[in-house]
Amino acid sequence: MLVVMNKNARPEEIDAVVRAIEERGMTARPIAGGDRVSIGVLYNKGSVDPSPFLGMAGVMDLIPVTRPYKLVSREFKPEDTIIRVGDVAIGNGHLTIMAGPCAIESEVQALTIAEHVKKAGAQMFRGGAFKPRTSPYSFQGLGEAGLKILAKVREETGMPVVTEVMDEENFDLVQEYADVIQIGTRNMQNFSLLRRAGQARKPVLLKRGMSAVIDEWLMAAEYILEGGNTEVILCERGVRTFVKHSRNTLDLSAVPVVRRESHLPIIVDPSHAAGRRDQVIPLSRASVAADAHGLMVEVHHEPDKAMSDGAQSLYPEQFESLCRQVRAIFDISRHEA
């Protein structure tokens, strides 16, 4: 960290900051600049809590230098993490497509969609049994009955299944049925749930929070790795901005940044980013072109009758076209690399 002093900071103010740093067991190294002094904070383990210094007399600004995350960082583990779920691999060199309805509504619905998406080229099936809904009056998912349907889908199609867990109470239950456990956007900083996921025996798909910067997202993953679970898949799903023409703004530069900073795989959910069907295919193509390791896409055979998020669900034939297009783009990048 760098403590930047005011131009007119007095020597005793500078000394006070130096002392405060050293009282915390770190080394202070004042740097005389052209017209002001900065103080480097050295030999600290990990990142420094900047709070105590910011309020001290003569201090103008604090500038973090060290990255706060460790276990998730590429500096800690240079080689890419590849996560294997049955026959499916997620990570560098692979393009993994997960697809299915927003919510599991019935066995017939789930199996119908599963067959469609498998045939089109999906490798994993997604579907919500516990649904986080803005309104307490909206459909909240089938709960355990939904999980049982997911197990049936896996049995019938051979596809591993990914589904969301909303709380610690149902964690064991979800873990029993799911192949990959999803932690949703609204829970990205539910630290109790992250700690529980650190104890899980299954890979975790961690969606980016609605307004999370990448450091916060990687720190949320760090909670899981720190707990002992090293299998985390990151999922970009758009961030909240002033823009109104899509539900969220897909932040595709997150893909190269995460790939540079971390060894963990990163996929993209274009359905929740867009919020409307007609943007899903272009954003899917763009995500793969930006080097995402996979996609998570909502598909419904009767979107007009879907119990949630029908507007963003693709028809099966659209999904088939999507798979064909993104595979072709993926082949180009593989060839190029």
Q: How far apart are CA 301 and CA 119, in angstroms?
A: 14
Binding mask 38-77 for a second copy (x = CB under 8 A): x-x-xxxxxx-xxxxxxxx----x-x-xx-x------x--
Q: Does residue 253 touch a second copy according to CB under 8 A?
A: yes
6 interacts with a second copy by CB under 8 A: yes
Does residue 35 interact with a second copy by CB under 8 A?
yes
Residues 267-286 that bind a second copy (CB under 8 A): 273-274, 276-279, 282-283, 285-286
Query: Is residue 310 at the binding interface for a second copy, with CB under 8 A as the rule?
Result: yes
* Residue 135 Cα to chain centre, angstroms: 24
- For the chain, what percentages of helix, strand and coil (3-state, to nearest 5) are there? 40, 20, 40
User: Which stretch, 2-10, 86-94, 118-126, 174-182, contacts a second copy (CB under 8 A)?
Assistant: 2-10
d(CA 187, CA 167): 9
- Out of 94, 216, 230, 301, the only residue in the binding site for a second copy (CB under 8 A) is 216
DSSP symbol at 208: P
Q: Distances from the Cα of 334 to the Cαs of 94, 257, 298, in angstroms? A: 9, 19, 26
If one asks whether residue 201 binds a second copy (CB under 8 A), the answer comes out as: no
Q: Which is nearer to a second copy, 75 or 84 (CB)?
A: 75
- Supply the DSSP string of 279-312, one letter for each residue: HHHHHHHHHHHTT-SEEEEEB-SSGGG-SS-GGG
Nearer to a second copy, 154 or 272 (CB): 272
Tell me the window of 88-96, 115-123, 154-162, 302-310 that interacts with a second copy (CB under 8 A). 302-310
> Which member of 166, 178, 180, 297 binds a second copy (CB under 8 A)?
166
Q: Which is nearer to a second copy, 85 or 292 (CB)?
A: 292
Helix (H, G, I), strand (E, B) or coil at 94: coil
Q: CB under 8 Å to 335, separation ≥6 — which residues?
A: none
Q: Which of residues 131-160 bind a second copy (CB under 8 A)?
A: 132-138
Report the nearest approach of a second copy to the CB of residue 203 (Å).
19
Tokens (6 digits) for 295 = 């996609």
Q: According to DSSP H, which parts of the chain are helical?
A: 11-23, 51-54, 107-120, 144-157, 171-177, 191-198, 214-226, 254-261, 270-274, 277-289, 316-336
Check residue 6 and report its DSSP letter.
Answer: P
Q: Minimal distance in Å, beta carbon 154 to a second copy?
A: 25
CA geometry: angle 113, 234, 270, nearest 5 deg: 45
Chain positions 177 to 196 lying near a second copy, rule: CB under 8 A, are 186-187, 189-193, 195
Crossing angle for the helix pair 107-120 and 144-157, to the nearest 10 degrees:
40
Identified binder of a second copy from the candidate list 2, 82, 89, 111, rule CB under 8 A: 2
Q: Please, what sign has the CA dihedral across residues 67, 70, 74, 78? A: positive
Residues 94-133 contacting a second copy, CB under 8 A: 132-133
What six digits make up the tokens of 136?
């307490």
Q: Binding of a second copy at residue 249 (CB under 8 A)?
A: yes
List phi, psi (to 5°) of 176: -65, -35
Q: CB under 8 A: which stretch of 83-91, 93-101, 113-121, 236-244 binds a second copy?
A: 236-244
Report in angstroms how near the CB of residue 320 gets to a second copy at its nearest: 12
Query: Minimum Å distance from CB 80 to a second copy?
Result: 16
